[in-house]
Amino acid sequence: MSTLDTLTQGQSATIKSFKDTFLSLKLIEMGCLPGETVKLSYIAPFGDPIAIEVSGYTLSLRKQEASTVVVSVNEN
């Protein structure tokens, strides 16, 4: 299992679980649900934060925050 921060640009993954309770509260209400597909759209110029495509919109978050999201990378 990898975490959301390790995706490369354009890669898709499925959210599996969360490692941090507080952040999961925020992430779930922003539409990052277990089972939801996410796609890494952009990485900021200094390598952090990142922007993902989720639930039909674009969400930005820091790498440290993304590292609390466990995902399985989608093969395609």
Partner 1 sequence: MSNTLPHISIALVGNPNSGKSTLFNSLTGLNQKTGNYAGVTVDKHYGNYSYNQTNVTITDLPGTYSLFPKSMDEEVACKALLSGQERPDVVVIVVDASNLKRHLLLATQVVDLKMPCVLALNMIDEADKNKITIYIPELEKLLGIAVIPVNSRDKKGMDDLKRAILNAKISDTIFYSFEKQKELLPETTSYTDIITSHLALKDIEDSATSSFEIADNIHRFSTINYIIAKSVKQPQHLDKSITQKLDRFFTHKVFGFLFFLLILFIVFQFIFFIAEYPMSWIENGFLYLMNFTAEALPKGQLNDLLVNGILAGISGIAVFIPQIALLFFFIAILEDTGYMARASFILDKLMRRFGLNGKSVIPMISSVACAVPSIMSTRTIMNWKDRMITIMVTPLISCSARLPVYTLLIGIMFAGKETLGVFSYQGLVLMGMYLLGFAAALIAAIILKYVLKTKEKSYFIMELPVYRKPQIQTVFMLVFDKVKVFLFDAGKIILAISVVLWFLTSHAPGNAFEKIEKNAVTQSIPLSEYAINSQKLEASYAGILGKKIEPVIKPLGFDWKIGIALITSFAAREVFVGTMATIYSTGDSENTETLRQKLIAEKNYETGRPVYTVAVCWSLLVFYAFAMQCMSTLATTYRETKHWKWPAIQLVFMSGLAYISSLIVYSVLS
Chain residues binding partner 1 by CB under 8 A are: 21-31, 33-34, 41-42, 44-49, 51, 55-62, 65
How many DSSP H helices and E strands does the chain contain?
2, 6
Residue 4: both structure tokens together? 């959301």
By beta-carbon proximity to partner 1, the closer residue of 46 and 75 is 46
What are φ and ψ of residue 13, in 5° steps? -155, 165
Dmax over Cα atoms in the chain, in whole Å?
32
By beta-carbon proximity to partner 1, the closer residue of 1 and 21 is 21
By beta-carbon proximity to partner 1, the closer residue of 44 and 74 is 44
Beta carbon of residue 34, minimum distance to partner 1 (angstroms, whole number): 7
Beta carbon of residue 36, minimum distance to partner 1 (angstroms, whole number): 9
Beta carbon of residue 53, minimum distance to partner 1 (angstroms, whole number): 9
Nearest residue to 13 via CA among 34, 39, 50 = 39
